[in-house]
């Protein structure tokens, strides 16, 4: 039988002589199955789950009402005015897409690098990715103004219109990148879930659950031949998703970088956006998983070591982002372009100085606390830092989008952006959408990749270490 | 079951599928797989809660061809992605769905670097589809009916137990011997798997239900198709007014209802445009001179549509020389000179050349495209007349002036676009154009 090390062990201690176990609490195979399944099987979720779901649904309803208002009235209900035509909707879009990067990064890139610790967190991170992409797609979808013509974004042949999308426009690349990313992430997520849903099916007592999980698990029997093709497919999807995940935020950054606006037209944008996306995505994963593991009793699967590893990624990417801010300033000066220089001075010391310095303190200073092991391994402290990171990353997109647009080349058309209540309600409402989806996911689907965790558990008899 | 003949009618329709051996440890399973294979069995499979490493060689599983499928689909998608962009943005003449070739900042319509992102995304998207659907297809999933699901013990195959299955179809399978072998290889437990074929039978109500659903599903496209083929008098559904209807006055329309006052319109006569005050003429609209403003001798106007006894349309007496009217200050309105000629050339290039061509042969771009479309059956276009047609060459200047002002046959009027002076200038230029070309005997020199 599979066995694990003593349950009192602190697996965040670095001991080069021995690999730290990824599952604690003395769980064996059946134990892992039980721990994950009880989340979905317990007759009643914790009370706090209902409270959170209630709040999220309220926010979701608010979002829905605002979208209805927007569609029937027009985009004028937002604060988007000349000269800032890309207000909060685009800020929110980039913010959510960025968050949606952690999941695929964890499931694909860490998989290719054989980082076994990913198995406990990848499922939840992938789910989070998909829900974030849903929130992200919402904003450009309604930002086009005439929502009923949204299908014009896609290359659909029409006899009478004789019009096609402009394939040379970064905004169109964006449509392709984000929708491909959403689709591939969803396939990846679902495929990973099938064996675990089969576990749910086989444990289900009541016929409705058996039917629904039976349908979703596609008749999976865990056949060795099926597993063989499944694993090959998993590697291929991971290999496809890896360049994809890097391409998505690169292309999102092209929306800005390909234009000629000072503060946007820089070649550092793609790597800088990708680092920022990973940064914010990991911060969101930590923010979600710390409460989730408390709530659903998953502490032995999502251990402190897992969280600590993510925090290390956060401090690394946070530092890269800080470095990128520095380089931007340096190039603005070194490049000798007066407009560029002025734009950056204005960012830091102009009308929007408050946004700039919020961004710098949240994104550059906050993650530095993770150099301290105490903070890095304390669940609640790390959540606080991560929330700051998320606030900072929203401000980063705000600073980039708004400060450059508010002041372009002609001083006579400079302006100042102020959001409307609809802007604010939509941003808050998008969190309602996100959390509603995430809470439902936690309750009804396998939160941890059961079969993947089992595959990296030590198999007792044959000694220490990995099973393969 | 209709399609599989059973040996005897009375026997329950149960088929012996094979033996299922249970193990509690992946290593024991792999060892057993090895032994079973060495014993010569080939129709074997294992069922495990997670992929067990080392089991592929033990079971003799060959590498899947999935990667090649994905490669082929991926390359295909790349080609399609590039072609799609070329088709959509670099062509505009492929029917029935013409592309949309348009110029942006003078950049080439087809430039590969700008097309890389979309080509890449399409490649990844379709490769992912190929991986996902290919994997399920090769695994023959989804398949919801499986005799294994009837075995209570098998439920642990997705949790913590490891199973080895030997199919009864295997050539060396033997009901008693195989069982003993499996027990010898360390199975906790060996179970007989039967396939109750009535299991796979669909519920009886499904067939009529499927028919009902299918007929309903056909109704909608049929209705859509029908309404497409019919003309419909009812106004279109307009889900979002989108500022299409506004309370504002447009010329030539009925004056809109005033907000708040039901039924009342802005003006009592219901019109938006105001008629001139009786007995007055707006500044600059007196236009008494027939030669200058209408191209015929004073007072020779004819009723529109009037004909002589033989039914030929009556024409006024066209002026044959440029009118010599003077303005209020006593200066001539038209001075036939080089400046007027240059003006005429310029205005001709703007207003007439698109149809009649720069040399006046009726071969302007608009006319040529119109003829092209006519040949393809997509439009009905009359070629713009050649201005060197003897019939036009012989025309008096007044008549040409009238053609420009009021149009002729299928040519539209231009009096609202071109001022009187410019119209005369164009006439001058047309006459000059005609003079440059080969002249027929009847041609007259431009009156000058």
pLDDT tens-digit map of A339-369: 999 999 999 999 999 999 999 999 999 999 9
> What is the nearest CA distance from B264 to chain A, expressed in angstroms?
28
B88 touches chain A (CB under 8 A): yes
The answer to whether the Cβ–Cβ distance between B145 and A251 falls below 8 Å is no
Lowest mean pLDDT segment, chosen from A10-14, A424-428, B124-128: A10-14
Q: What pLDDT was estimated at residue B310?
A: 86
The CA distances from residue A87 to A70, A262, A342, in Å, are: 15, 17, 21
> What is the nearest CA distance from B139 to chain A, expressed in angstroms?
6
Question: Residue B413 and residue B404: Cα distance in Å, rounded?
Answer: 6
Residue A264, CA atoms < 13 Å, CB-side half-sphere? 22
B170 touches chain A (CB under 8 A): no
Q: Using CB atoms, pick whichever of A162, A202, A240 lies closest to residue B158.
A: A202
Q: Which residue has the tokens 């230029």?
A: B429
> What is the band of A161 on the pLDDT scale with cuts at 50, 70, 90?
low
B78 touches chain A (CB under 8 A): no
Contact present, B348 and B360 (Cβ < 8 Å)? no
> What is the nearest CA distance from A411 to chain B, expressed in angstroms?
25
| Residues in chain A closer than 8 A to B111 (CB atoms) | 168
Q: Which residue has the tokens 């006055």?
A: B249
What is the separation, in whole angstroms, between the first and last Cα of chain A?
16
Contact present, A454 and B50 (Cβ < 8 Å)? yes
Interface of A with B in 308-367 (CB under 8 A): none
Question: Residue A281 and residue A246: Cα distance in Å, rounded?
Answer: 13
What distance lies between CA A199 and its chain's CA centroid?
Answer: 27
Could you tell me if residue B252 is left (phi over 0), alpha (psi between -120 and 50 degrees) or otherwise beta? left
The answer to whether the Cβ–Cβ distance between B98 and A162 falls below 8 Å is yes
Q: What are phi and psi of B298, to 5 degrees?
A: -50, 125
| Residues in chain B closer than 8 A to A114 (CB atoms) | none
Question: Residue B82 and residue A167: Cα distance in Å, rounded?
Answer: 10
Domain assignment present for residue A429? The answer is yes
> Do the bridges between strand B14-23 and strand B44-47 make them parallel or antiparallel, or are there none, so unpaired?
unpaired
Which element (helix H / strand E) includes B15?
A: strand B14-23
Closest CA to A355 of A407, A307, A399: A399
Alpha-helical (H) ranges within B145-241 are: 175-184, 206-229
> What is the band of B240 on the pLDDT scale with cuts at 50, 70, 90?
low
Which element (helix H / strand E) includes A321?
A: helix A304-334
Residue B87 tokens, joined: 């088709």
Q: Where are the beta strands (DSSP E) in B24-116?
A: 44-47
For the four alpha carbons of B384, B387, B391 and B396, in that order, the dihedral sign comes to positive
Q: Which residue has the tokens 């608010």?
A: A62
Question: Residue A354 and residue A395: Cα distance in Å, rounded?
Answer: 10
Domain assignment present for residue A89? The answer is yes
Q: Count interface pairs A-B at CB distance under 8 A.
A: 205
Q: Which residue has the tokens 């994950």?
A: A36
CB atoms within 10 A of CB B10: 6
For the four alpha carbons of B218, B224, B230 and B233, in that order, the dihedral sign comes to positive
Domain assignment present for residue A13? The answer is no
Q: State what percent of residues in chain A have pLDDT above 90.
A: 66
Q: Give the bridge partners for B192, in sequence order.
A: B19
Fold classification of B290-443 is: Cytochrome Bc1 Complex; Chain D, domain 2 (1.10.760)
Domain assignment present for residue A464? The answer is no
Domain assignment present for residue A435? The answer is yes
| All residues at 6 or more sequence positions from B271 whose CB lies less than 8 Å from its CB, including other chains | B254, B255
Q: What pLDDT was estimated at residue B257?
A: 61
B61 touches chain A (CB under 8 A): yes
ipTM score = 0.92
Torsion of CA A125, B140, B179, B50, to 10 degrees: -10
Domain assignment present for residue A455? The answer is no
Lowest mean pLDDT segment, chosen from A8-12, A276-280, B151-155: A8-12
Q: Please state the domain count of chain A.
A: 1
Q: What pLDDT was estimated at residue B295?
A: 93
| All residues at 6 or more sequence positions from A460 whose CB lies less than 8 Å from its CB, including other chains | A1, A2, A3
* Strands of the B44-47 sheet, one edge to the other: B44-47, B162-167, B14-23, B189-196
| Residues in chain B closer than 8 A to A162 (CB atoms) | 92, 97-98, 100
Select the residue from B71, B159, B165, B378 to test the A interface by mutation, using most A Cβ atoms within 10 A.
B159
The three-point CA angle B38-B43-B46 to 5° equals 85
CB atoms within 10 A of CB B191: 19
Alpha-helical (H) ranges within B230-337 are: 290-294
Contact present, B273 and B280 (Cβ < 8 Å)? no
B186 touches chain A (CB under 8 A): no
Work out the average pLDDT over B322-326: 92
Could you tell me if residue B279 is left (phi over 0), alpha (psi between -120 and 50 degrees) or otherwise beta? left
> What is the band of B14 on the pLDDT scale with cuts at 50, 70, 90?
confident
| Residues in chain A closer than 8 A to B144 (CB atoms) | 214-215, 218-219
Question: Residue A270 and residue A128: Cα distance in Å, rounded?
Answer: 23
Please give the DSSP secondary-structure letter assigned to residue A223.
B
Work out the average pLDDT over A166-170: 90
Q: Where are the beta strands (DSSP E) in B75-184?
A: 162-167
The answer to whether the Cβ–Cβ distance between B49 and A168 falls below 8 Å is no
Q: What are phi and psi of B408, to 5 degrees?
A: -150, 130
> What is the nearest CA distance from A112 to chain B, expressed in angstroms?
16
Residue B416, CA atoms < 13 Å, CB-side half-sphere? 2
CATH of the domain at A194: 1.20.1630.10
Work out the average pLDDT over A259-270: 91
Contact present, A240 and B127 (Cβ < 8 Å)? yes
- Encode pLDDT of A44-75 as tens digits: 888 999 999 999 999 999 999 999 999 888 88
Question: Residue A315 and residue A419: Cα distance in Å, rounded?
Answer: 32
* C-beta pairs of A12-20 under 8 Å, 24+ apart in sequence: A12/A303, A12/A304, A12/A305, A12/A308, A12/A373, A12/A377, A18/A464, A19/A464, A19/A465, A19/A466, A20/A305
Domain assignment present for residue A198? The answer is yes
Question: Residue A296 and residue A381: Cα distance in Å, rounded?
Answer: 20
Interface of A with B in 143-202 (CB under 8 A): 146, 148, 155, 157-159, 162-168, 170, 172-173, 176-177, 180, 183-184, 187-188, 191, 195, 198-199, 201-202
Residue A100 tokens, joined: 């949606």
Contact present, A127 and A134 (Cβ < 8 Å)? no
Question: Residue A98 and residue A282: Cα distance in Å, rounded?
Answer: 10
The answer to whether the Cβ–Cβ distance between B122 and A176 falls below 8 Å is yes
> What is the band of B258 on the pLDDT scale with cuts at 50, 70, 90?
low
Question: Residue A382 and residue A396: Cα distance in Å, rounded?
Answer: 21
Select the residue from B67, B98, B104, B117 to test the A interface by mutation, using most A Cβ atoms within 10 A.
B117
Instruction: Please report, for chain B, the start and end positions of each structural domain, with discontinuous segments joined by +.
Output: 13-200+238-246, 290-443
Select the residue from B139, B241, B373 to test the A interface by mutation, using most A Cβ atoms within 10 A.
B139
- Encode pLDDT of A111-135 as tens digits: 888 888 888 888 999 999 999 999 9
| Residues in chain B closer than 8 A to A168 (CB atoms) | 89, 104, 107, 111, 114-115
Lowest mean pLDDT segment, chosen from A256-270, B59-73, B238-252: B238-252
- Encode pLDDT of A392-435 as tens digits: 999 999 999 999 999 878 888 899 999 999 999 999 999 999 99
The answer to whether the Cβ–Cβ distance between A155 and B84 falls below 8 Å is yes
The three-point CA angle B426-B428-B433 to 5° equals 90
Closest CA to A458 of A129, A5, A30: A5
Question: Residue A380 and residue A375: Cα distance in Å, rounded?
Answer: 9
Residues belonging to chain B = 448
Q: What pLDDT was estimated at residue B264?
A: 57
B167 touches chain A (CB under 8 A): no
Which element (helix H / strand E) includes B193?
A: strand B189-196
A455 touches chain B (CB under 8 A): yes
The CA distances from residue B73 to A234, B107, B130, in Å, are: 17, 32, 7
Q: What pLDDT was estimated at residue A160?
A: 62
> What is the band of A159 on the pLDDT scale with cuts at 50, 70, 90?
low
What is the separation, in whole angstroms, between the first and last Cα of chain B?
103
B160 touches chain A (CB under 8 A): yes
The answer to whether the Cβ–Cβ distance between A167 and B115 falls below 8 Å is yes
| All residues at 6 or more sequence positions from A300 whose CB lies less than 8 Å from its CB, including other chains | A7, A23, A24, A25, A27, A35
> What is the band of B268 on the pLDDT scale with cuts at 50, 70, 90?
confident
Q: What is the mean pLDDT of chain B?
A: 86
Residues belonging to chain A = 468
Alpha-helical (H) ranges within B60-111 are: 66-90
Question: Residue A289 and residue A240: Cα distance in Å, rounded?
Answer: 26
Which element (helix H / strand E) includes A272?
A: helix A269-295
What distance lies between CA A329 and its chain's CA centroid?
Answer: 28
The overall longest dimension of chain B from CA atoms, in Å, is: 129
């Amino acid at each position: 039988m599979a066995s694990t090390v003593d349950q009192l062990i602190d697996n965040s201690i670095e001991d080069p002589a021995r690999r730290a176990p990824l599952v604690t609490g003395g769980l064996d195979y059946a134990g892992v199955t039980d721990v994950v399944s009880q989340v979905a099987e317990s007759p009643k979720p914790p009370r706090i789950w209902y409270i959170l779901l209630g709040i999220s649904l309220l926010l979701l309803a608010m979002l829905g009402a605002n979208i209805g208002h927007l569609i029937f009235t027009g985009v004028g209900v937002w604060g988007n005015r000349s000269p800032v035509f890309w207000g909060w909707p685009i800020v929110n879009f980039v913010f959510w897409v960025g968050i949606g990067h952690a999941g695929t990064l964890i499931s694909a890139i860490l998989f290719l690098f054989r980082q076994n610790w990913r198995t406990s967190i990848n499922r939840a991170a992938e789910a989070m990715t998909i829900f974030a992409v849903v929130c992200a797609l919402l904003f450009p979808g309604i930002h086009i103004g005439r929502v009923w013509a949204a299908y014009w974004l896609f290359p659909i042949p029409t006899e009478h219109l004789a019009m096609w999308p402009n394939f040379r426009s970064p905004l169109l690349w964006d449509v392709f990148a984000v929708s491909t990313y959403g689709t591939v992430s969803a396939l990846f997520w679902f495929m990973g879930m099938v064996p675990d849903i089969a576990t749910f099916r086989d444990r289900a007592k009541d016929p409705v659950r058996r039917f629904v999980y039976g349908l979703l698990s596609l008749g999976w029997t865990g056949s060795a031949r099926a597993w063989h093709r499944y694993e090959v497919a998993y590697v291929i999807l991971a290999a496809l998703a890896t360049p994809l995940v890097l391409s998505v935020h690169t292309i999102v950054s092209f929306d800005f970088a390909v234009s000629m606006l000072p503060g946007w037209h820089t070649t550092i944008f793609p790597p800088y956006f990708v680092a920022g996306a990973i940064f914010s995505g990991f911060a969101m994963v930590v923010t979600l998983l710390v409460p989730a593991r408390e709530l659903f009793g998953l502490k032995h699967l999502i251990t402190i070591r897992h969280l600590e590893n993510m925090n290390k990624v956060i401090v690394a990417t946070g530092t890269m982002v800080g470095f990128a801010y520095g380089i931007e300033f340096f190039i603005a000066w070194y490049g000798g372009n007066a407009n560029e220089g002025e734009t950056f001075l204005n960012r830091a010391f102009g009308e929007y100085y408050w946004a700039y310095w919020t961004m710098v303190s949240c994104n550059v200073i906050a993650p530095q606390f993770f150099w301290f092991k105490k903070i890095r391994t304390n669940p609640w402290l790390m959540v606080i830092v991560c929330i700051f990171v998320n606030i900072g990353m929203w401000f980063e997109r705000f600073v980039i989008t708004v400060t450059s647009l508010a002041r372009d080349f002609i001083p006579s058309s400079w302006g100042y952006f102020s959001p409307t209540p609809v802007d604010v309600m939509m941003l808050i409402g998008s969190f309602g959408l996100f959390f509603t989806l995430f809470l439902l996911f936690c309750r009804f689907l396998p939160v941890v990749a059961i079969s993947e965790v089992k595959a990296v558990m030590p198999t007792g008899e044959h000694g220490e270490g990995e099973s393969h | 079951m209709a399609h599989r003949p059973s040996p005897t009618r009375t026997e329950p329709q149960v088929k012996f599928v094979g033996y299922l051996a249970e193990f509690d440890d992946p290593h024991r399973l792999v060892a057993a797989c090895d032994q079973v294979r060495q014993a010569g069995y080939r129709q074997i499979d294992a069922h495990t809660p997670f992929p067990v490493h080392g089991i592929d060689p033990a079971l003799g599983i060959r590498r899947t061809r999935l990667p090649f499928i994905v490669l082929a689909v991926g390359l295909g998608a790349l080609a399609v992605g590039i072609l799609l962009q070329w088709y959509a943005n670099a062509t505009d003449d492929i029917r029935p769905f013409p592309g949309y070739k348009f110029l942006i900042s003078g950049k080439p319509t087809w430039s590969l670097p700008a097309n890389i992102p979309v080509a890449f995304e399409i490649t990844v998207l379709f490769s992912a589809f190929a991986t996902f659907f290919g994997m399920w297809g090769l695994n023959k999933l989804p398949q919801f009916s499986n005799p294994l699901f009837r075995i209570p013990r098998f439920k642990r195959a997705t949790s913590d137990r490891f199973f080895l299955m030997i199919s009864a179809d295997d050539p060396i399978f033997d009901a008693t011997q195989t069982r003993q072998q499996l027990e010898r290889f360390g199975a906790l437990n060996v179970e007989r798997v039967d396939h109750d074929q009535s299991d796979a039978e669909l519920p009886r109500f499904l067939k009529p239900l499927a028919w009902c659903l299918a007929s309903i599903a056909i109704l909608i496209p049929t209705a859509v198709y029908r309404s497409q083929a019919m003309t419909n008098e009812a106004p279109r559904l307009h889900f979002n007014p989108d500022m299409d209807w506004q309370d504002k006055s447009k010329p030539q329309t009925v004056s809109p209802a005033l907000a708040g006052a039901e039924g009342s319109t802005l003006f009592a006569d219901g019109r938006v445009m105001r008629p001139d005050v009786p007995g007055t003429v707006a500044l600059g609209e007196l236009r008494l001179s027939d030669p200058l403003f209408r191209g015929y001798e004073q007072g020779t106007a004819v009723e529109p549509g009037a004909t002589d006894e033989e039914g030929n349309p009556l024409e006024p007496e066209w002026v044959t020389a440029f009118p010599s009217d003077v303005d209020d200050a006593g200066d001539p309105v038209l001075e036939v000179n080089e400046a007027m000629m240059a003006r005429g050339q310029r205005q001709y290039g703007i207003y007439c050349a698109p149809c009649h061509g720069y040399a006046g042969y009726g071969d302007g771009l608009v006319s040529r495209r119109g003829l092209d479309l006519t040949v393809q059956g997509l439009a009905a276009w009359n070629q713009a007349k050649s201005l060197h047609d003897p019939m036009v060459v012989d025309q008096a200047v007044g008549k040409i002036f009238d053609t420009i002002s009021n149009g002729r046959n299928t040519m539209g009027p231009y009096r609202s676009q071109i001022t009187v002076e410019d119209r005369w200038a164009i006439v001058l230029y047309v006459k000059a154009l005609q003079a440059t070309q080969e002249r027929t005997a009847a041609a007259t020199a431009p009156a000058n």
